[in-house]
């Protein structure tokens, strides 16, 4: 099987924000979130891991014939050129050929292309020659991080990490030349699954960072979660009527959950207070057709109580989630994280493992806002 026979990588189902699960799963999803957050006061915190803010996203691995591939997300899914590069020189040329070749005159872009080419050689060493398949992840560093105040310090995107040099992770960083956090495995058909076996990789020149759990349980969150549970139980029927896949399909509004998701993401830029109040104002500025806008407006008027209950639930989940994140960020431990420009502990957030679908706990008002403000 050659490159042209591999299916184009499809976007994997995203891990949903805790407050967004309701859009896709209705009241059942909201209750799943409530129960998951409740577990964090007990031993459930062991299922919560740091969500690393790495960049850029890369994909690497081997074809069935053993040929090694190292590229970025754009190269992997490229149309019009073969971005599944199989040599360091191809990697360099791919990056410098973008933007119409203008990057070849930019010293910063040349340096970046050379770095990515060097990483090709390093990553090739960690994938066994008899392995077939690929890995998708985010780079954390491309050379051994500098040491400041007895911490390895690196800033791959907008979060600066400080890792105790004496910690277990610090010792692994010391031995490495590059670091990456891997999100998914990809087979040659393009199917994605979580990485389970971190012993696949060989050598220590590239550190594949294992899941790092939070130190201690959350505290004193039960009262707020009990109120949230009462809210969901009281409004479950209304919420499920509003988000009914059957009714939305009949009205040709199956993308309604996605539109709600786009709206709440836009609120990151303008403020997350008063969710739902200005939805129709936002909708009028969106690329949703005028016909569908009217259909949505009529639908919301018909389900006014349910619409209000849904947003009250979303806001309540977000408030409890933010309190939990704040507790986790201030637990101390071997890893400290801080968003660029912030003076307090803050990072991209955490991932809560769940058999029905992982849930991410991200501080949208801080990390998401800062990340969306970055010009790339």
What value does the mean pLDDT take over residues 315-327? 96
Segment of 78-82, 216-220, 241-245 carrying the highest mean pLDDT: 241-245
Flag whether pLDDT at 157 surpasses 70: yes
- What per-residue confidence (pLDDT) applies to 11? 33
Flag whether pLDDT at 100 surpasses 90: no
Report pTM: 0.87
Asked if 333 and 162 touch (Cβ cutoff 8 Å), the reply is: no
Strands 350-352 and 16-17 come out as unpaired
- What per-residue confidence (pLDDT) applies to 376? 55
Q: What is the pLDDT of residues 107-154, one digit of tens each?
A: 999 999 999 999 999 999 999 999 999 999 999 999 999 999 999 999
- Which residue, 201, 221, 223, is CA-closest to 323? 221
DSSP 8-class letter at 102: G
Lowest-pLDDT range of 27-36, 57-66, 338-347: 338-347
Flag whether pLDDT at 179 surpasses 50: yes
- Which residue, 353, 342, 318, is CA-closest to 51? 353
Quote the percentage of the chain above a pLDDT of 70: 96
What value does the mean pLDDT take over residues 51-76? 96
Domain ranges of the chain: 16-50+216-373, 57-208
Quote the percentage of the chain above a pLDDT of 90: 82
Compute the chain's Rg from CA coordinates.
23
- What per-residue confidence (pLDDT) applies to 21? 97
What value does the mean pLDDT take over residues 336-350? 89
User: Using CA atoms, how far apart are residues 95 and 89, in angstroms rounded to an integer?
Assistant: 10
- Other beta carbons less than 10 A from residue 32's beta carbon: 18
Q: What is the pLDDT of residues 1-43, one digit of tens each?
A: 333 333 333 333 478 999 999 999 999 999 999 999 999 998 8
CA 180, 185, 190: angle at the middle one, nearest 5? 130
User: Using CA atoms, how far apart are residues 244 and 206, in angstroms rounded to an integer?
Assistant: 47
Mean pLDDT for the chain overall:
92
- What per-residue confidence (pLDDT) applies to 342? 83
- Other beta carbons less than 10 A from residue 131's beta carbon: 16
User: Using CA atoms, how far apart are residues 337 and 2, in angstroms rounded to an integer?
Assistant: 42
Q: What is the pLDDT of residues 81-94, one digit of tens each?
A: 999 999 999 999 99
User: Using CA atoms, how far apart are residues 37 and 346, in angstroms rounded to an integer?
Assistant: 20
């Amino acid at each position: 099987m050659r490159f042209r026979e591999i299916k184009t990588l499809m976007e994997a189902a995203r891990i949903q924000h805790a407050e967004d699960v309701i859009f896709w799963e209705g009241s059942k999803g909201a209750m799943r979130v409530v129960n998951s957050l409740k577990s964090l006061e007990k031993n459930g915190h062991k299922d919560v891991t740091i969500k690393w803010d790495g960049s850029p996203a890369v994909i690497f691995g081997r074809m069935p014939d053993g040929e090694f591939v190292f590229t970025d997300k754009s190269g992997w899914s490229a149309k019009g050129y073969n971005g599944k590069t199989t040599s360091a020189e191809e990697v360099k040329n791919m990056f410098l050929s973008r933007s119409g070749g203008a990057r070849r005159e930019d010293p910063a872009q040349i340096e970046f292309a050379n770095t990515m080419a060097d990483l090709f050689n390093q990553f090739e060493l960690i994938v066994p020659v008899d392995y077939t398949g690929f890995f998708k992840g985010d780079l954390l560093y491309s050379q051994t991080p500098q040491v400041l105040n007895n911490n390895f310090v690196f800033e791959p995107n907008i979060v600066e990490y400080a890792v105790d040099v004496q910690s277990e992770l610090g010792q692994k960083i010391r031995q490495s030349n590059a670091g990456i956090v891997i999100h998914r495995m990809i087979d040659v058909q393009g199917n994605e699954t979580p990485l389970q076996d971190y012993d696949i990789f060989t050598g220590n020149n590239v550190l594949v960072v294992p899941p790092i759990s939070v130190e201690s349980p959350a505290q004193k969150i039960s009262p707020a979660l009990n109120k949230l549970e009462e809210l969901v139980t009281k409004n479950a029927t209304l919420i499920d009527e509003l988000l009914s896949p059957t009714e939305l399909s009949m009205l040709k509004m199956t993308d309604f959950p996605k539109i709600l998701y786009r709206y709440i993401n836009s609120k990151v830029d303008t403020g997350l207070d008063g969710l739902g109040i200005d939805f129709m104002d936002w909708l009028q500025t969106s690329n949703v057709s005028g016909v569908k806008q009217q259909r949505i407006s009529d639908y919301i008027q018909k389900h006014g109580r349910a619409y209000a209950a849904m947003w009250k639930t979303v806001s309540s989940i977000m408030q409890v989630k933010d309190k939990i994140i704040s507790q986790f960020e201030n637990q101390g431990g071997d890893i400290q994280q801080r968003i660029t420009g912030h003076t307090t502990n803050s990072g991209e957030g955490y991932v809560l493992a769940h058999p029905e679908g992982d849930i991410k706990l991200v501080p949208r008002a801080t990390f998401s806002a800062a990340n969306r403000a970055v010009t790339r």
